[in-house]
């Protein structure tokens, strides 16, 4: 089975950080988010993967083609203009159309077993399987109505008739298995969405669409708060992710659980609080306090500065005596 990672978006909710680095390249435990997505796909034996890109594409291409070539077949689909989820998939029809395939959003972290989803898809003779989950506020996402047998009967916001009783409202996680039949429904070379344009019509046409209920870990890394939370959850081992190489030190300045990258210089009277992730080649000067924050590589923090619940972008210098609370700084 092949897979496609949807990674062409602008990441507007994470601005200003995404003005300099596309969201799929945001470090999570010191490795790009996209690398963790590749790990998930490879855990299901998938080694032929496409990625659509648009915003700051060279940073993604250079990292995976030149700096860290992956141990699988990787194909990039560069979109001159944004095509939407369905439009991006349509552009890669020639690559994907020889059998069922997985598509996954590039901004999620999850512990799902994709092999179970694949088996569920096959056992139900489904034409489209969406991974769904129950949430206290499903309206934040692409909400759908699902029957007891897993059949999806309605997308919230789409016109529909004869909705069965006793359905459950769930949310779409951004992971799905599609059959090649779907390509006939997607217009070529124009913007088109899956949940907005394609899926509701498939339901109206009585196409068998099923929802696989995932009850494990899932997080949509859509804003600064959720980005910080993903790293915190990984440090707390709520989800297992591969880590980048770490700084080896018995320094009392670093309070566990925290992650400090290689080649960092940390003053002994500074404090790296729990749930902080410090990238490689950072300099933390005297009297600095960092808590629940992420510093990308090459950051310098001046003496006496306090940073809490914030993200500091690559190679940024923060002067001494600053108080940075709940901010994203580039």
Closest by alpha carbon to 312, among 224, 242, 252?
224
> Radius of gyration of the chain from Cα atoms?
21
What six digits make up the tokens of 299?
């950051």
Please count the residues of the chain: 330
Span 78-123, pLDDT tens digits: 999 999 999 999 999 999 999 999 999 999 999 999 999 999 999 9
Interval 222-281: pLDDT, tens = 999 999 999 999 999 999 998 876 665 556 789 989 999 999 999 989 999 989 999 999
Rounded alpha-carbon distances, angstroms, from residue 175 to 14, 128, 223, 295: 21, 11, 19, 29
Residue 129: helix, strand or coil by DSSP? strand
Cβ–Cβ under 8 Å, residues 82 and 8: yes
pTM of the model: 0.93
Neighbours of 239 (CB within 10 A): 16
- Tens digit of each residue's pLDDT (9 = 90 or more) over 146-193: 998 899 988 866 555 566 677 888 999 999 999 999 999 999 999 999
Q: Which domains does the chain have, with CATH numbers?
A: 2-235 (3.90.550.10), 259-329 (2.160.10.10)
Calpha distance 96→92 (Å, rounded): 6
Nearest to 293 by CA among 266, 250, 253, 326: 326
């Amino acid at each position: 089975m092949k897979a496609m990672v949807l990674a062409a978006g602008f990441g507007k909710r994470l601005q200003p950080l995404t003005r300099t680095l596309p969201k799929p390249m945001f470090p999570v435990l010191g490795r790009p988010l996209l690398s963790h997505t590749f790990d998930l796909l490879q855990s299901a034996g998938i080694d032929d993967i496409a990625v659509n890109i648009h915003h700051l594409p060279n940073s993604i291409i250079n990292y995976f083609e030149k700096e860290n070539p992956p141990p699988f077949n990787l194909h990039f689909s560069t979109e001159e203009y944004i095509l939407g989820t369905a439009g991006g998939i349509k552009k890669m029809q020639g690559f994907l159309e020889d059998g069922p395939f997985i598509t996954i959003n590039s901004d999620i972290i999850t512990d799902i077993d994709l092999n179970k989803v694949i088996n569920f898809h096959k056992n139900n003779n489904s034409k489209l399987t969406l991974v769904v989950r129950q949430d206290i506020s499903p309206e934040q996402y692409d909400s759908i109505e699902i029957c007891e047998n897993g059949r999806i009967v309605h997308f919230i916001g789409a016109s529909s008739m004869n909705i069965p009783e006793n359905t459950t409202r769930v949310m779409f996680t951004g992971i799905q298995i599609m059959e090649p039949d779907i390509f006939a429904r997607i217009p070529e070379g124009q913007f088109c969405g899956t949940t907005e344009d394609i899926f509701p019509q498939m339901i109206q046409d009585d196409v068998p669409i099923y929802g696989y209920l995932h009850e494990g870990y899932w997080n949509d890394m859509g804003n600064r708060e959720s980005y910080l939370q993903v790293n915190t959850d990984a440090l707390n081992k709520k989800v297992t992710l591969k880590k980048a190489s770490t700084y080896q030190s018995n320094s009392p300045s670093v309070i566990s659980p925290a992650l400090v990258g290689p080649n960092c210089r940390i003053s002994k009277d500074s404090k790296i609080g729990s749930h902080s992730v410090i990238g490689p080649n950072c300099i933390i000067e005297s009297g600095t306090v960092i808590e629940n924050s992420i510093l990308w590589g090459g950051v310098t923090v001046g003496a006496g500065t306090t940073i809490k619940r914030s993200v500091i972008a690559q190679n940024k210098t923060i002067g001494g005596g600053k108080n940075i609370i709940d901010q994203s700084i580039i």
